[in-house]
Amino acid sequence: MRMTGLASGLDIDSMVKELMKARRTTYDNMVKKRTKVEWQQEDYRSMATKIVDFRNNKLASFKLANVIGAKTSDVSGDTNALTVNSTSATSAGSLTVKVNHVATAANTIYTFNNKEADGVTDKKLKDLGFALEYEADGVTETGNILVKINGVQIKTSKEGTLSELAGAINAKASTSKATALYDSASGKFSISATKTGETDAATYTGLTVETFAAGPSVTNVNNTNIGSDADITVNGLDYKQASNQFTVAGFNFTIKSEATAMITARQDTTKIVDTIKSFITEYNSLISSVNSELSEKKNYDYKPLTSDEKEEMTEDDIKNWEAKARSGLLKSDSSLSTMISQFRLATNDLVKGIIDSSGNALSIGITTGSYSEKGKLVLDEDKLQKALSDNPDAVIALFSDSTNGVFSKMTKSSMTALENMSKKAGTSLTSTDLTGSFMETSLLGDQIRAMKNREKQMLDRLDKAEDQYYKTFSAMETAINKFNSQSSSLSSYLQ
């Protein structure tokens, strides 16, 4: 703590602060310049996240074959025979499917006399003929009921009910590959394999006919019913497998009953139109954001604020000031400008349209807006529907072709822009996090580090200058004290 001005009566701290003000102006200007570069880096990150989202999330979804090339299927004949889903591999055309046999799962059914004398209350497992003593892992146990299905041991209390036993079996279904169902009205208890087919016949030990036959409360209706495979004929070809779910010629269908149905595939124009509408919305949103940054004017009258300047302003004033100070930091940026130009070239093919079935040019209903809208796309749904009806493959190819499609071109152009921004500002090629870290090496990152080093050097010089001022004033104080002491001695001598 410095003690100043005692001899001279001067406010030394204020004088030093005033003398340092001019020197600190240079430092403040250095900080302001660095702040503006940091803002520019943040603006690049904000723009990069939007481009990443458009490229990696939106475009990647739109260009999936089952999205832009969506198909749907109609079932005629006996519609109860099967249910169907189309895939991207589904080709136009139809299949005639004759279901000869629906696959079944192996099962065993038991019928219990399960009611107590009141006719309402269920009996306990201990009263239904289950063994009350068993050996598990070499140890004899009592008090529980043990059921073993496909080698999996399932234990439940002897005081439990058949409903609780079914619950215990179902809880182990993922490992035992079997489920249980109990119908209290009929007293029937069924155990079934979880998979259909002849090769998945369940085998049961510990829950056997002999065990239940020993008690008067249960009768075995059917021994294990072996599962059976599904058997179908498609366009004259026979297919047989364990599952009821088939994939034939790109059609995924599940057979339900023994009957004949016809499946006919067609383009799902409703879904395709919705996809194109979504693409146009996302595209227009992105280029609007980019064009706004490219055309925003720089406001040279507003610079970043120092902490001292902020102390004299309200929060709203600071917010408004900094909004103006941050304006135009990406104005005319070459990476973004090039991307927009390439985007507009790519959309020219959409505006040109396709060749219809008669060999004539046909619009797909996409045009560009007014000059002031800077490349935004406008859609006429009726014209798009007409083009899809006339030549759906040509319309889809405009978007999805792996080389010349709009989606492929924009995917490539946006990645080039992201790579250029990454080199300049250290932004991510894959992240949509607005608070994500910047890459270690970049043009702006290196510039910011160099500026911080120069600021540190300037602060060191300012500290030394301030110390020198205080030393000078301290010497003056010492001289004044010495003079005052000599004057006091002289006055005393003269008296």
For 265-276, what is each residue's pLDDT tens digit? 888 899 999 999
477 lies in some domain? no
Query: What integer pLDDT is reported at residue 204 of this predicted model?
Result: 47
pTM given for the model: 0.73
Q: Which amino acid is at 109?
A: I
CATH for 168: 3.30.70
| 165-196 exposure pattern, b = at least 16 Cβ within 10 A, e = fewer | bbebbeebeeebbbbbebeeeebbbbbbbebb
Do 252 and 383 share a structural domain?
Answer: no
* High-pLDDT (> 90) share of the chain, %: 52
Do 394 and 317 share a structural domain?
Answer: yes
- List the structure tokens of 42: 């943040």
Do 200 and 125 share a structural domain?
Answer: yes
Partners of 108 in beta bridges: 191
CA distances from 18 to 25, 308, 459, 476 (A): 11, 15, 17, 18
Do 152 and 75 share a structural domain?
Answer: no
Location of structure tokens 């490539």: 412
Q: How confident is the model at residue 399 (pLDDT cuts 50, 70, 90)?
A: very high
Residue 232's SS3 state is strand
The count of domains in the chain is: 3
Do 257 and 275 share a structural domain?
Answer: no
Asked if pLDDT for residue 290 goes beyond 50, the answer is: yes
476 lies in some domain? no
Query: What integer pLDDT is reported at residue 129 of this predicted model?
Result: 73
- Can you give the residue range of the structural domain that contains 282? 12-66+271-444
Rounded Cα distance, 353 and 359, in Å: 12
Residue 419's SS3 state is helix
Asked if pLDDT for residue 494 goes beyond 70, the answer is: no
Task: Let me know the angle formed at the C-alpha of 411 by 410 and 416, rounded to the nearest 5 degrees.
Answer: 95
46 lies in some domain? yes
Q: Which of residues 223, 246, 279 is at a domain's end?
A: 223
Do 393 and 356 share a structural domain?
Answer: yes
Q: How crowded is the C-beta side of 50, counted as CA atoms within 13 Å? A: 17
Do 420 and 381 share a structural domain?
Answer: yes
Do 289 and 236 share a structural domain?
Answer: no
Region 31-37: mean pLDDT is: 95
Do 148 and 287 share a structural domain?
Answer: no
Rounded Cα distance, 340 and 332, in Å: 11
Do 384 and 238 share a structural domain?
Answer: no
3-state secondary structure string, 235-291? Answer: CCEEEEECCCEEEECCEEEEECCCCEEEEEEEECHHHHHHHHHHHHHHHHHHHHHHH
294 lies in some domain? yes
Longest dimension (CA), the chain: 140
Do 195 and 144 share a structural domain?
Answer: yes
